[in-house]
Structure 1
Amino acid sequence: MGMVMCSLNSALFFYFKKGVLSGIICIHVDDFCWDGEDFFRDTVINSLKDKFLIGTTSHGSFKYIGVHLERDSAGGIGLSQDDYVRSLEEVKLEEKHKRSRSDVLSEMEKRDYRALVGQLNWIATQTRPDISFDVCELSSVFDKARVDDLIRANKVVKKVQSRSVVVQYPKLRDQNQLTIECYSDASFGNLKDGGSQGGHVIFIVDSDGKRCPVTWQYKRLRRVVKSTLAAETLALLDSAEAGVYIATLLAECLNLSVGDFVVKCFVDNRSLVDAVHSTKAIEDKHLRINMAVLRDMLSKRDIQSITWVRSSLQLANVLTKIGACPKPLLSAIGGCSTSSQ
C-alpha cells in the first residue's frame, strides 16, 4: 500500500507523501494504532479495512494494549493506566507467616508474588517510573522471596494507587530542530546481592523547551563493577546508545538526516564528566574500554555533549535508588495528582 517498514522496528510503518510524513502505523500482535492525514486514512487505512476483518475501532480517547490514550485540544496526547492500577489487589499472607518477616514464602505465595510484581513492572515501564527501583528490587528475589518482600510489594500497590499519573506528550514544533536529552544515573552496590542499579530517561525537546518523554529504563548493570565511577559510566553508555537509537529512528520517521538531531547527555557525577574529557589513562581496564567508546561517540558527534547537573536536577535518580524524590521526573513527564484513588 505504499508504506515503508521501519528498518529499526519491523512493527512500525511510515507513509510519505512527496517526502513528508503523512501517516504512521504501529502494530502490537493484532492491534493497530495509527495516526495521519485524511489522505492517508482514505488511501491506506480504508484499504486495510477491506483486507482484514476489523473488530472494535476507537479514536480520540481509547485504550491500546491496556493503556488509556487521550488527545487534548492542543494536539498533545496523554497516557494513563488508572483503571489497571485500581484493579491491583494485594497478596494475602498465610496465617503462619504474619509474625515472621524472615520466613520464606510458600510456593503458592511465591506464585502470587511473582504475578503481582509482573503487574507492577507493566505499570512501571508504561506510566509509573516512580516505582521503578521498587520493582527492580522485588524482581531480584523471586526464587527466595520472604514475607518481608511480599509486605513491601503490597506497600508498592498502596503507593501506586495513592497517586494518579498522566504521561503527557505535547505537540512539538520545528521538527528539524529537535534535541534528544538523555539523563542517566547509577547506584553502586545497592542491590541486595551487591549488584548495582542503572537507569536512564530520554526526552525529545523542541526549540520552546517542550518535552516529550520517549523512554525510561531501569535494570541491574550488565556486569559487576568496582566503583561508583564504573557504575555511572555503564549507565551513561546505555543512555547514550539509546539516545542515538532514538535520533536514528526519529530521522527515519521524519525523512531527515540523523545529523539533524542533537543528542545531549546529563549526569550528576563530576568525576565521570572529568574522566570523559581527560586523556589520563584509567587503571580499571573494563572502565577504560567503556570510556573510550564514550569519547569516540563525542568525537564523531554521535552525541554532542556530556554535562554535569545537580542531583536535584537528575531526573533518573528515582530509577536507581530507594527513597529518591519522584517529583522531578513525574513533573517532567507531565504531572500528577496526589489525590487517593
Structure 2
Amino acid sequence: MPVEQPPPGILPGEVRVAAGSIYGTTDAPRAWYLYLRTKLLQNGLHECALEKGLFALHDDSGFRMLLSSHVDDLAIAMQDKTDLRAVVATLCKELHMRTETLPATYCGKLVECLPDCIRVTQPKALSRLEPVQLSSLRKSMAESAITAEEQTLYRSLVGQLLWLATQTRPDLAFATSRAAQKFVTATVQDLLHLNLLVKRAKALSTMGLVFRRGLIDLVTVSVLEYGDSAFANMLGSKSQFGVATVLTHDVSRYVEGGYDSGVLVLWCSATVKRVVRSTLAAEAYAISEAVETGQALRHLLVEISSPANSRGEPLKLKNLEEQATRRLLTVVTDSHNLAATLPKDSTCVSDKRLRIVVAMLRQCFDSAEHATLLWKPTGLMLADALTKEVKADRLHAALQAEPTLPLPTPPTAPLQPQQHVTNIWMVEPVRDDDDLFLIGLIVGFVGCVAVEFVGRRCVLRALRFCFRRFRHVDSASVAVVPRRNVRFRTVATQTSSSVNPRSVTQRNRFGHAAVYVSASHSRTAVAEPLVRAM
C-alpha cells in the first residue's frame, strides 16, 4: 500500500515506474540487504567474508562490536563504551529502528540476561505444540497409512518440532529428523510416536541454551567437535549421523564430562546421503562432517577476532588460512576402528569409495593443520543421542553447561590366587569385516551337533587339546592382549558354573554379555565355558 494517495491527474491504467523497492516484491529483500550493508559500512563495521549478514567493528586491539542481522532484526554484542553507544544510536536513527533491553524475543527465541549466564529458550513455540487427536479406534490401526488430513497435521507438527530441534533443543533432533523422513510413508504408529515426542518436549519446558558469563574468550578459545553415526538404522538402510560443536578452553576436561567448562553452540542430526557398506564408512562420513564444521568455525573465529590493519579493515582471506591453523581443533569419535585406521599409512580398506574419505581425513588431521582426532568410549560421546533413540542426559548437561559424573572405571587390582574367579572371557581376534562372525556361527552349529551326538566330554577334550599349546594371557577391562599385540573380542562368558548371556544388559555384536575380568587364565581354561554356552 502506498504511504499516501497518488497526486491528481493520474489516468486509470497508467503505468508508473517505482523509484525504489516496494515491500512484498521479489527484489525487496535484496534491496533491503544492500541498504543495510551500506549503512553499517558507513559507520565503520565490516561484513565477514565467511558469514554473510555478520558484521564486526575492529580496532588495533581486536573486535569491539558484533552485529548479526536477520532481515530487519539486529542482535548486537559490544563493549560498554561511549563511542559504541553513539554508533548504535546513529544506526537506530538512520534505519528507523528501536532498541529492546533483555529479556527480549529475537527471531522467536527468548533471550534472558541472568546474573551468572545468558539463557536462550523458546517458551512460545513450546506452548503452541499440540498433539494430534486420534480416536481409540484409529489408534488401534497402528500399521494403517495416515489420511490426507492427518498428513497435513503430521507435517505441521514436524515443522514445529524442527524449529525447536534446530534452535534450542538438540535432544529432539534425532526423533524429529526420523519423523521428517517419513512424510510420504507415515503410519498411525508414526503419528503416535510424534505425539509422544510432543509430550517429551513439553516435559522439559525450561530446557535451552545456557552461556556462562566469563567462560569463553573468542580470541583464544578452542573448537571441539563430536562426530558419531549409527549404521543403517534409518529408512532405505541409510545411516544417521550427528555432529555437536563446542567452544572451550579446557578440551581434556570437557571430553571427560566437565560440561561446565565449555559452551555447546552448534549441532546437527541427519542421514548420510549415501548408503554405506560398513560401520567404519558411516563413522568416517560423520567425522568428515564434524571436521569440516570445525574448520569453518575456526576460520570464522579468527576472522572476527583478529586486530584490524592500518586502514581499519579485518584480516584478509589470503592470510586467514595461516592464522586459523594456529587455533586448536579437536574432533572426538567413539569408533576405535576409525581412530586406528587414519594414522596408519599402510592400512587399506576394502571399500574403494571409502578410501577417498579416509585420505581426506588424513590430510585434515595432518600435524600442520593443528587438528587432532581423539577416541573416547560411547558413554562420553556427546553426539550419541543425535544418531539413535537413547537418553540425552549428556546433551542436557551440555546445554545447561553443567558437569556430569564420569564413567565408572573397571576394576584394575588383580585378584588374589586363593580367590574364586567367577567370570571368564572367551576371546577371538577382531577384524573389520564379518567373516569371523559367519565362521563363528558355523563352528557353533557344528559344536552343538557334536555335543548332541558325540558327547560333551569328547568335544571338551578335543577343544582342550587344541588350546593346550597357547600360553597364558592377561585379561583387561575391554580386551585381552596375547603376543604380537592382537586385540580380542568377547564371544562368551562364564558366571559361576553356567553361561547366562540374557541376564546381562550390555551385549556385544555376537549377542553374548560383556563383563569385567581381572585375572590371568589360559586358553585351555576358556574352552569349557564355550561348550557350556552351546
8 Å contact from structure 2 (residues 209, 399) kept in 1: yes
8 Å contact from structure 2 (residues 125, 160) kept in 1: no
8 Å contact from structure 1 (residues 93, 109) kept in 2: no
1:102-157: CA deviation from partner (whole Å, max 9, x where unpaired): 11111111011001001111111111111111111100110121111111100000
CA gap 1:35/1:83 in 2 versus in 1, 3 angstroms: same
Match of 1:290 in 2: 357
Please give the secondary structure, in 2, of the residue aligned with 1:193: helix
Please give the secondary structure, in 1, of the residue aligned with 2:301: helix
CA gap 1:148/1:335 in 2 versus in 1, 3 angstroms: farther
8 Å contact from structure 1 (residues 166, 335) kept in 2: no
1:274 equivalent in alignment to 2:317: no
Match of 1:100 in 2: 141
Residue 304 of structure 1 aligns with an amino acid whose one-letter code is A
Residue 162 of structure 1 aligns with an amino acid whose one-letter code is A
Match of 1:253 in 2: 304
Residue 247 of structure 1 aligns with an amino acid whose one-letter code is R
Counterparts of 1:277 and 1:4 in 2: how far apart (Å)? 41
Residue 210 of structure 2 aligns with an amino acid whose one-letter code is Q
Counterparts of 1:305 and 1:107 in 2: how far apart (Å)? 50
Give runs of aligned pairs for residues 47-62 of structure 1, distance below 5 A. Answer: 47-55=90-98, 57-62=99-104
* Alignment gaps of 5+ in structure 2: 1-42, 255-260, 308-322, 403-534
1:43 equivalent in alignment to 2:43: no
Aligned length in residues: 333
Match of 2:186 in 1: 145
Give runs of aligned pairs for residues 103-182 of structure 1, distance below 5 A. Answer: 103-163=144-204, 164-170=206-212, 171-182=214-225
8 Å contact from structure 2 (residues 288, 357) kept in 1: yes
Please give the secondary structure, in 1, of the residue aligned with 2:146: coil
CA gap 1:108/1:303 in 2 versus in 1, 3 angstroms: farther
Counterparts of 1:333 and 1:317 in 2: how far apart (Å)? 15
Give runs of aligned pairs for residues 231-250 of structure 1, distance below 5 A. Answer: 231-250=282-301
8 Å contact from structure 1 (residues 101, 148) kept in 2: yes
Please give the secondary structure, in 2, of the residue aligned with 1:224: coil
8 Å contact from structure 1 (residues 23, 40) kept in 2: no
Please give the secondary structure, in 1, of the residue aligned with 2:237: coil
Counterparts of 1:7 and 1:113 in 2: how far apart (Å)? 39
The answer to which of 325-334 and 133-142 deviates more is: 325-334
Match of 2:63 in 1: 21
Paired-residue identity, %: 28
User: Please, what TM-score do these two structures have when normalized by structure 1?
Assistant: 0.92
User: Please, what TM-score do these two structures have when normalized by structure 2?
Assistant: 0.60
8 Å contact from structure 2 (residues 219, 301) kept in 1: no
Match of 1:229 in 2: 280
Counterparts of 2:83 and 2:348 in 1: how far apart (Å)? 55
Residue 93 of structure 1 aligns with an amino acid whose one-letter code is L
Residue 251 of structure 1 aligns with an amino acid whose one-letter code is V
8 Å contact from structure 1 (residues 244, 302) kept in 2: no
TM-aligned CA deviation for residue 243 of structure 1: 0.4
8 Å contact from structure 2 (residues 219, 302) kept in 1: no
The structure whose Rg is larger is 2
Match of 2:121 in 1: 80
Please give the secondary structure, in 2, of the residue aligned with 1:169: strand
Counterparts of 1:305 and 1:166 in 2: how far apart (Å)? 30
Give runs of aligned pairs for residues 288-327 of structure 1, distance below 5 A. Answer: 288-299=355-366, 301-322=368-389, 324-327=390-393
Residue 166 of structure 1 aligns with an amino acid whose one-letter code is G
Task: Find runs of 4+ consecutive structure 1 residues off by over 4 angstroms.
Answer: none
The answer to which of 165-174 and 125-134 deviates more is: 165-174
TM-aligned CA deviation for residue 96 of structure 1: 5.9
TM-aligned CA deviation for residue 87 of structure 1: 2.1
* Structure (1/2) with the larger strand percentage: 1
Counterparts of 1:281 and 1:120 in 2: how far apart (Å)? 42
Counterparts of 2:87 and 2:143 in 1: how far apart (Å)? 59
CA gap 1:273/1:40 in 2 versus in 1, 3 angstroms: farther
8 Å contact from structure 1 (residues 176, 261) kept in 2: no
1:216 equivalent in alignment to 2:255: no
CA gap 1:62/1:136 in 2 versus in 1, 3 angstroms: same
Match of 1:189 in 2: 232
8 Å contact from structure 1 (residues 267, 307) kept in 2: yes
Residue 102 of structure 1 aligns with an amino acid whose one-letter code is E
TM-aligned CA deviation for residue 317 of structure 1: 0.3
1:54-96: CA deviation from partner (whole Å, max 9, x where unpaired): 25x322211111111112224x321111332122111123676
Residue 178 of structure 1 aligns with an amino acid whose one-letter code is V
8 Å contact from structure 1 (residues 199, 218) kept in 2: yes
CA gap 1:92/1:32 in 2 versus in 1, 3 angstroms: same
Please give the secondary structure, in 1, of the residue aligned with 2:344: coil
8 Å contact from structure 1 (residues 124, 130) kept in 2: yes
